Structures are given as structure tokens and as C-alpha cells.
Amino acid sequence: MKTAGWRSALIYGCAVALCQPLAACGSADAPSASTNDKAAAPAKTAAIPAGAPLVIAFGDSLYAGYQLGPKEGLAPQLQAALAEDGVVARVQSAGVSGDTSAAGRQRLSYVLDNAKTKPALVVLGLGGNDMLRGIGPEQTRANLDAMLAELKKREIPVLLTGMMAAPNLGSDYANAFNPIYPELAGKYDVSFYPFILDGVITDKSLMLGDDLHPNAKGVTVIAEALAPLVGEALPDGE
């Protein structure tokens, strides 16, 4: 983990300590409308060829665009960031606010089976809600392992985005939770971004008022950081 990631995690821990009664990174019944915390500029839209590679962004509220407008979530902003890098791809959102790794595991096959075309890449990010709810890290590991195994079986490349345990949960929990992502990335030889909120959660101007979710500007930072990794992970990526 980069130093910046650890620093982000420490501040993240403070936010979680204050907001843990929420018990989730968003909730399934949370409002999806934009709030005043978001940035004014939405992601640019561009025509995507019908045969463009499909990227599925599969995760929780950090992927779903919690309280953001339809063009401000991770999928549209990542698609725009890729286009700016000269990479043409269609990015489909499969983020569900409140999802645990167990819930994601249950719906992964359904999402893949019902995609209009076989995904060229899945960007996978779950486990934050497990951590907020104090779910045993061994369960998080097992669920992510099963999802990565399913994607490998289907020969779908993956970019795994990591999460870190809040320090207030204690060293025992952190020592069991934090290694899950790098170890699974190594086991399955997938692309890896260590901390999805790196460089964002430390800056209040990039966060919603709950101090847990990025606003539109924060999502832009995340999308721009992920875009080069997505470009490299796509077939024929360099």
C-alpha cells in the first residue's frame, strides 16, 4: 500500500467512527438524486461504437454513484476518462448501494449472464460494507475469492479495487482484512488498485457531507486514476 493510501485510511477511520451507525456504504433505499455536495460539471458524453469493448463496474455505493446525478457516477466518468486517453469502451454500472461481498457474490452470475455481450473487463470493488458492519474478514475473503474464481472460469479479465479497514476497528481486524485484496490480486494475477478512495477521502472538497462517499469531483479523481489501469487491462491494452 502506498503511503498516501495509509494516510487516507487513517482519516477514513475517523469518518467511519462517526458514521458507523449507517452500517453501510450507502443503503439500498438511500436517495439517488444529486445533492449540493456534488460538483457542477458532469462527465462528458461521446458516441460509443456498438462493438466497443464492454467494461462492467461491479461494486457497492462507491460504484453506484451514491447521491450523484446519472452522469456523475463511476461508470460514466470512467468511460469519459478512457475516451480522453483515446480508449474507446462502454462502461456499464453494476454498482448497488449497500451491497456486501456476499450480496455481490449472489448477483455476479446474473449480471454476467444478462450482459449484452461478454465483458472485456470487470472492475470489481466490494468489501467496504463488510468492514463497516464488522463482518468477519474470512467471509469477505471467501466471497471475493469466489467472484474472482467465477470471472477466471469465464476468462474475463479483472481490475480489483481495494478497501482498507478503519483503524478504530483494531489491529486484529485490520491485520485480517487489509491483506485480502493484494493477496487475492496476486492469487488470480489480476490488475490491482490498492485503495479505491486514495487521494479522495483526505480532501473534504472531494467528499459528500457524510465523509464516506465521494462527490462528483471525487469520482472524477477516482476515474482518472483507474483509467490507465483499465486501458492496460483491456485486451490488446498496452
Domains of the chain listed by start with CATH number? 3-16+54-233 (3.40.50.1110)
Residue 7: band (very low, low, confident or very high) from pLDDT cuts 50, 70, 90: very low
Q: What is the mean pLDDT of the chain?
A: 86
Query: What is residue 10's predicted lDDT score, i.e. its pLDDT?
Result: 47
Bridge partner residues of 191 (DSSP): 159
Chain centroid to CA 125: 4
Using alpha carbons, list the distances in angstroms from residue 28 to 23, 33, 172. Answer: 12, 13, 30
Single out the catalytic residue among 27, 32, 203, 210: 210
Q: Is the pLDDT of residue 6 over 60?
A: no
* pLDDT tens-digit readout, 104-155: 999 999 999 999 999 999 999 999 999 999 999 999 999 999 999 999 999 9
Sheet bearing 90-95, strands edge to edge: 90-95, 54-59, 121-125, 158-161, 191-193
Predicted model pTM:
0.84
* pLDDT tens-digit readout, 194-215: 999 999 999 999 999 999 999 9
Please tell me the distance from the alpha carbon of residue 164 to that of residue 16, in angstroms, as a whole number: 11
Single out the catalytic residue among 34, 61, 93, 97: 61
Q: Is the pLDDT of residue 14 over 70?
A: no
Query: What is residue 121's predicted lDDT score, i.e. its pLDDT?
Result: 98
Query: What is residue 25's predicted lDDT score, i.e. its pLDDT?
Result: 55
Residue 37: active-site member: no
HSE at residue 95, side-chain half, CA atoms within 13 A, is 32
Query: What is residue 46's predicted lDDT score, i.e. its pLDDT?
Result: 59
Residue 213: active-site member: yes
Residue 210: active-site member: yes
